[in-house]
Amino acid sequence: MTLNQWLLFYVPSTPLAILLIGLFLGITVGSLFLVRRFIPFHKLKTHNDVAGFIFSTIGVIYAVLLAFMVIVSWQNFDRAGRNAASEAICIEDLYRDSTGFPPVFKEAVRTALSDYAFAIVNDEWMTLASGKRSEKAQAASEKIWDLYTSFQPENENQRIFFQESVEKLNEAAELRRERILAAGPGIPSILWVVLICGGMITILFTIFFGTENFGAQLIMSSMLSMLVALSLFTIMTLDFPFTGSVTISQDTFRAVLVHFKL
Protein backbone atom coordinates (compact mmCIF):
# COMPACT_ATOMS: atom_id res chain seq x y z
CA MET A 1 0.00 0.00 0.00
CA THR A 2 1.43 3.36 -1.04
CA LEU A 3 1.48 6.38 1.28
CA ASN A 4 -1.38 8.05 -0.63
CA GLN A 5 -3.57 4.96 -0.37
CA TRP A 6 -2.62 4.51 3.30
CA LEU A 7 -3.76 8.05 4.06
CA LEU A 8 -7.06 7.54 2.23
CA PHE A 9 -7.57 4.21 3.98
CA TYR A 10 -6.98 5.41 7.53
CA VAL A 11 -7.90 9.11 7.41
CA PRO A 12 -11.45 10.27 6.51
CA SER A 13 -11.61 12.42 3.39
CA THR A 14 -12.73 15.66 5.05
CA PRO A 15 -10.00 15.75 7.73
CA LEU A 16 -7.46 14.68 5.10
CA ALA A 17 -8.47 17.53 2.78
CA ILE A 18 -8.30 20.01 5.69
CA LEU A 19 -4.89 18.65 6.67
CA LEU A 20 -3.55 18.99 3.13
CA ILE A 21 -4.91 22.52 2.74
CA GLY A 22 -3.52 23.47 6.15
CA LEU A 23 -0.09 22.13 5.21
CA PHE A 24 0.06 24.14 1.99
CA LEU A 25 -1.31 27.25 3.70
CA GLY A 26 1.20 26.93 6.50
CA ILE A 27 4.10 26.71 4.07
CA THR A 28 2.78 29.63 2.02
CA VAL A 29 2.05 31.98 4.93
CA GLY A 30 5.23 31.07 6.78
CA SER A 31 7.38 31.59 3.69
CA LEU A 32 5.72 34.92 2.93
CA PHE A 33 6.32 36.26 6.43
CA LEU A 34 9.90 34.98 6.34
CA VAL A 35 10.70 36.66 3.02
CA ARG A 36 9.09 39.97 4.06
CA ARG A 37 11.04 39.95 7.30
CA PHE A 38 14.41 39.98 5.53
CA ILE A 39 13.56 41.58 2.15
CA PRO A 40 11.50 44.80 2.06
CA PHE A 41 8.71 44.97 -0.50
CA HIS A 42 10.26 47.90 -2.41
CA LYS A 43 13.27 45.74 -3.30
CA LEU A 44 11.01 42.94 -4.52
CA LYS A 45 8.84 45.41 -6.40
CA THR A 46 11.69 46.32 -8.78
CA HIS A 47 11.57 42.79 -10.22
CA ASN A 48 7.77 42.53 -10.60
CA ASP A 49 7.77 42.98 -14.38
CA VAL A 50 10.33 40.25 -15.04
CA ALA A 51 8.87 37.99 -12.35
CA GLY A 52 5.42 38.41 -13.88
CA PHE A 53 6.49 36.91 -17.21
CA ILE A 54 8.29 34.03 -15.53
CA PHE A 55 5.33 33.35 -13.22
CA SER A 56 2.96 33.28 -16.21
CA THR A 57 5.09 30.60 -17.88
CA ILE A 58 5.35 28.54 -14.70
CA GLY A 59 1.62 28.89 -14.07
CA VAL A 60 0.66 27.72 -17.55
CA ILE A 61 3.00 24.72 -17.42
CA TYR A 62 1.73 23.63 -14.02
CA ALA A 63 -1.92 24.27 -14.88
CA VAL A 64 -1.64 22.05 -17.97
CA LEU A 65 0.06 19.29 -15.96
CA LEU A 66 -2.50 19.54 -13.15
CA ALA A 67 -5.48 19.52 -15.54
CA PHE A 68 -4.04 16.53 -17.42
CA MET A 69 -3.63 14.50 -14.22
CA VAL A 70 -7.14 15.36 -13.02
CA ILE A 71 -8.60 14.22 -16.35
CA VAL A 72 -6.57 10.99 -16.41
CA SER A 73 -7.51 10.20 -12.81
CA TRP A 74 -11.19 10.81 -13.50
CA GLN A 75 -11.08 8.66 -16.65
CA ASN A 76 -9.49 5.80 -14.70
CA PHE A 77 -12.06 6.20 -11.94
CA ASP A 78 -14.91 6.16 -14.44
CA ARG A 79 -13.46 3.16 -16.27
CA ALA A 80 -13.19 1.23 -13.02
CA GLY A 81 -16.85 1.94 -12.31
CA ARG A 82 -17.96 0.81 -15.76
CA ASN A 83 -15.83 -2.34 -15.54
CA ALA A 84 -17.37 -3.23 -12.18
CA ALA A 85 -20.86 -2.76 -13.62
CA SER A 86 -19.97 -4.91 -16.64
CA GLU A 87 -18.60 -7.63 -14.36
CA ALA A 88 -21.85 -7.69 -12.41
CA ILE A 89 -23.81 -7.97 -15.66
CA CYS A 90 -21.65 -10.93 -16.76
CA ILE A 91 -22.36 -12.73 -13.48
CA GLU A 92 -26.08 -12.10 -13.90
CA ASP A 93 -25.90 -13.36 -17.49
CA LEU A 94 -24.19 -16.55 -16.31
CA TYR A 95 -26.97 -17.05 -13.80
CA ARG A 96 -29.62 -16.62 -16.50
CA ASP A 97 -27.82 -18.83 -19.06
CA SER A 98 -27.66 -21.68 -16.56
CA THR A 99 -31.31 -22.41 -17.41
CA GLY A 100 -30.03 -24.31 -20.47
CA PHE A 101 -28.21 -26.90 -18.34
CA PRO A 102 -29.43 -30.01 -16.49
CA PRO A 103 -31.14 -29.27 -13.13
CA VAL A 104 -28.31 -30.58 -10.94
CA PHE A 105 -25.61 -28.60 -12.75
CA LYS A 106 -27.83 -25.54 -12.98
CA GLU A 107 -28.35 -25.43 -9.22
CA ALA A 108 -24.64 -25.97 -8.57
CA VAL A 109 -23.73 -23.11 -10.90
CA ARG A 110 -26.32 -20.76 -9.43
CA THR A 111 -25.17 -21.53 -5.88
CA ALA A 112 -21.53 -20.93 -6.87
CA LEU A 113 -22.40 -17.65 -8.61
CA SER A 114 -24.39 -16.50 -5.59
CA ASP A 115 -21.46 -17.33 -3.29
CA TYR A 116 -19.09 -15.46 -5.60
CA ALA A 117 -21.25 -12.32 -5.71
CA PHE A 118 -21.70 -12.50 -1.93
CA ALA A 119 -17.90 -12.71 -1.44
CA ILE A 120 -17.37 -9.68 -3.69
CA VAL A 121 -19.91 -7.55 -1.83
CA ASN A 122 -19.05 -8.60 1.72
CA ASP A 123 -15.31 -9.24 1.50
CA GLU A 124 -13.52 -8.23 -1.68
CA TRP A 125 -14.85 -4.67 -1.71
CA MET A 126 -13.20 -4.19 1.69
CA THR A 127 -9.90 -5.80 0.68
CA LEU A 128 -9.81 -3.67 -2.48
CA ALA A 129 -9.69 -0.60 -0.22
CA SER A 130 -6.18 -1.72 0.77
CA GLY A 131 -5.26 -2.67 -2.81
CA LYS A 132 -5.63 -6.44 -2.36
CA ARG A 133 -7.89 -9.12 -3.75
CA SER A 134 -10.12 -11.28 -1.58
CA GLU A 135 -9.09 -14.89 -1.05
CA LYS A 136 -12.73 -15.78 -0.43
CA ALA A 137 -13.76 -14.31 -3.77
CA GLN A 138 -10.81 -16.04 -5.44
CA ALA A 139 -11.85 -19.40 -4.01
CA ALA A 140 -15.46 -18.83 -5.12
CA SER A 141 -14.26 -17.92 -8.62
CA GLU A 142 -12.14 -21.06 -8.85
CA LYS A 143 -15.12 -23.15 -7.78
CA ILE A 144 -17.13 -21.76 -10.70
CA TRP A 145 -14.30 -22.61 -13.09
CA ASP A 146 -14.09 -26.14 -11.68
CA LEU A 147 -17.80 -26.62 -12.31
CA TYR A 148 -17.58 -25.56 -15.94
CA THR A 149 -14.39 -27.49 -16.71
CA SER A 150 -15.98 -30.71 -15.39
CA PHE A 151 -19.22 -30.32 -17.34
CA GLN A 152 -19.84 -32.25 -20.56
CA PRO A 153 -22.73 -30.97 -22.75
CA GLU A 154 -25.11 -33.73 -23.75
CA ASN A 155 -26.86 -32.08 -26.69
CA GLU A 156 -26.60 -29.17 -29.09
CA ASN A 157 -28.72 -26.88 -26.92
CA GLN A 158 -26.43 -27.41 -23.93
CA ARG A 159 -23.33 -26.91 -26.09
CA ILE A 160 -24.64 -23.51 -27.22
CA PHE A 161 -25.34 -22.39 -23.65
CA PHE A 162 -22.03 -23.84 -22.48
CA GLN A 163 -20.02 -21.97 -25.12
CA GLU A 164 -21.81 -18.72 -24.37
CA SER A 165 -21.30 -19.21 -20.62
CA VAL A 166 -17.57 -19.88 -20.97
CA GLU A 167 -17.18 -16.67 -22.98
CA LYS A 168 -19.04 -14.74 -20.28
CA LEU A 169 -16.95 -16.43 -17.59
CA ASN A 170 -13.73 -15.38 -19.31
CA GLU A 171 -15.04 -11.85 -19.69
CA ALA A 172 -15.98 -11.69 -16.00
CA ALA A 173 -12.54 -12.98 -15.00
CA GLU A 174 -10.83 -10.34 -17.13
CA LEU A 175 -13.00 -7.59 -15.67
CA ARG A 176 -12.20 -8.78 -12.16
CA ARG A 177 -8.47 -8.63 -12.90
CA GLU A 178 -8.90 -5.07 -14.17
CA ARG A 179 -10.88 -4.20 -11.03
CA ILE A 180 -8.09 -5.53 -8.81
CA LEU A 181 -5.45 -3.67 -10.84
CA ALA A 182 -7.48 -0.44 -10.53
CA ALA A 183 -7.26 -0.79 -6.74
CA GLY A 184 -3.45 -1.01 -6.92
CA PRO A 185 -0.54 1.45 -6.71
CA GLY A 186 -2.06 4.25 -8.80
CA ILE A 187 -0.02 7.15 -10.21
CA PRO A 188 3.76 6.49 -10.19
CA SER A 189 5.73 8.17 -7.41
CA ILE A 190 7.77 10.26 -9.86
CA LEU A 191 4.60 11.98 -11.07
CA TRP A 192 3.62 12.81 -7.49
CA VAL A 193 7.06 14.34 -6.96
CA VAL A 194 6.56 16.49 -10.06
CA LEU A 195 3.03 17.50 -9.01
CA ILE A 196 3.99 18.44 -5.46
CA CYS A 197 7.24 20.20 -6.39
CA GLY A 198 5.50 22.02 -9.24
CA GLY A 199 2.77 23.15 -6.88
CA MET A 200 5.28 24.40 -4.32
CA ILE A 201 7.28 26.26 -6.96
CA THR A 202 4.15 27.92 -8.32
CA ILE A 203 2.92 28.94 -4.87
CA LEU A 204 6.26 30.09 -3.47
CA PHE A 205 6.97 32.12 -6.59
CA THR A 206 4.14 34.46 -5.58
CA ILE A 207 5.87 35.46 -2.34
CA PHE A 208 8.68 37.16 -4.28
CA PHE A 209 6.33 39.75 -5.75
CA GLY A 210 6.61 43.13 -4.07
CA THR A 211 3.23 44.61 -3.15
CA GLU A 212 2.70 47.46 -0.74
CA ASN A 213 -0.50 45.88 0.53
CA PHE A 214 0.85 42.85 2.41
CA GLY A 215 -2.63 41.64 3.38
CA ALA A 216 -3.78 41.47 -0.24
CA GLN A 217 -0.70 39.49 -1.25
CA LEU A 218 -1.23 37.13 1.67
CA ILE A 219 -4.84 36.49 0.66
CA MET A 220 -3.98 35.93 -3.03
CA SER A 221 -1.11 33.57 -2.25
CA SER A 222 -3.28 31.68 0.23
CA MET A 223 -6.11 31.23 -2.29
CA LEU A 224 -3.66 29.89 -4.87
CA SER A 225 -2.26 27.54 -2.24
CA MET A 226 -5.75 26.24 -1.40
CA LEU A 227 -6.57 25.68 -5.06
CA VAL A 228 -3.41 23.65 -5.63
CA ALA A 229 -4.01 21.62 -2.45
CA LEU A 230 -7.62 20.84 -3.45
CA SER A 231 -6.53 19.82 -6.95
CA LEU A 232 -3.90 17.44 -5.55
CA PHE A 233 -6.46 16.03 -3.12
CA THR A 234 -8.88 15.43 -6.00
CA ILE A 235 -6.21 13.57 -7.98
CA MET A 236 -5.29 11.46 -4.95
CA THR A 237 -8.94 10.59 -4.26
CA LEU A 238 -9.77 9.62 -7.85
CA ASP A 239 -6.50 7.70 -8.19
CA PHE A 240 -7.80 4.99 -5.82
CA PRO A 241 -11.40 4.22 -6.87
CA PHE A 242 -11.96 1.67 -4.08
CA THR A 243 -10.26 3.50 -1.18
CA GLY A 244 -11.55 6.37 0.92
CA SER A 245 -14.91 8.11 1.07
CA VAL A 246 -15.25 8.66 -2.70
CA THR A 247 -15.35 5.13 -4.13
CA ILE A 248 -16.96 2.97 -6.78
CA SER A 249 -20.35 1.79 -5.55
CA GLN A 250 -21.04 -1.91 -5.07
CA ASP A 251 -24.75 -1.39 -5.77
CA THR A 252 -24.58 -3.30 -9.07
CA PHE A 253 -23.37 -6.44 -7.27
CA ARG A 254 -25.94 -5.96 -4.52
CA ALA A 255 -28.62 -5.78 -7.22
CA VAL A 256 -27.32 -9.05 -8.65
CA LEU A 257 -27.59 -10.71 -5.25
CA VAL A 258 -31.15 -9.47 -4.86
CA HIS A 259 -31.99 -10.87 -8.30
CA PHE A 260 -30.49 -14.24 -7.35
CA LYS A 261 -32.77 -14.44 -4.31
CA LEU A 262 -35.93 -13.73 -6.30
More confident residue, 238 or 55: 238
CA dist 240 and 77 (Å) reads 8
pLDDT category at 119 given cuts 50, 70, 90 is very high
How much is the pLDDT for 176?
Answer: 93
pLDDT category at 207 given cuts 50, 70, 90 is confident
Range with lowest mean pLDDT among 6-10, 52-56, 232-236? 52-56
Segment 29-39 shows an average pLDDT of 86
pTM score, two decimals?
0.85
Q: What mean pLDDT is reported for the chain?
A: 89
pLDDT category at 217 given cuts 50, 70, 90 is confident
CA angle 163, 259, 241 (to 5 degrees): 85
The answer to whether residues 225 and 25 touch, using CB atoms and an 8 Å cutoff, is yes
Residues in CB range of 64: below 8 A, 6 or more apart: none
Number of domains in the chain: 1
Segment 214-219 shows an average pLDDT of 86
More confident residue, 49 or 124: 124
Q: What is the DSSP letter of 187?
A: S
Q: Residue 109 carries which side chain, given as an amino acid letter?
A: V
Contacts of 121-130 with C-beta under 8 Å, sequence gap 24+, read 121/250, 121/253, 121/254, 121/257, 125/242, 125/250, 125/253, 128/179, 128/180, 128/183, 128/242, 128/243, 129/9, 129/183, 129/242, 129/243, 129/244, 129/247, 130/1, 130/5, 130/9, 130/243
How much is the pLDDT for 46?
Answer: 74
CA-closest candidate to residue 80, choices 237, 241, 256:
241
User: Which residue range forms the structural domain that includes residue 20?
Assistant: 3-261
Instruction: Tell me, letter by letter, the H, E, C secondary structure of 147-175.
Output: HHHCCCCCCHHHHHHHHHHHHHHHHHHHH
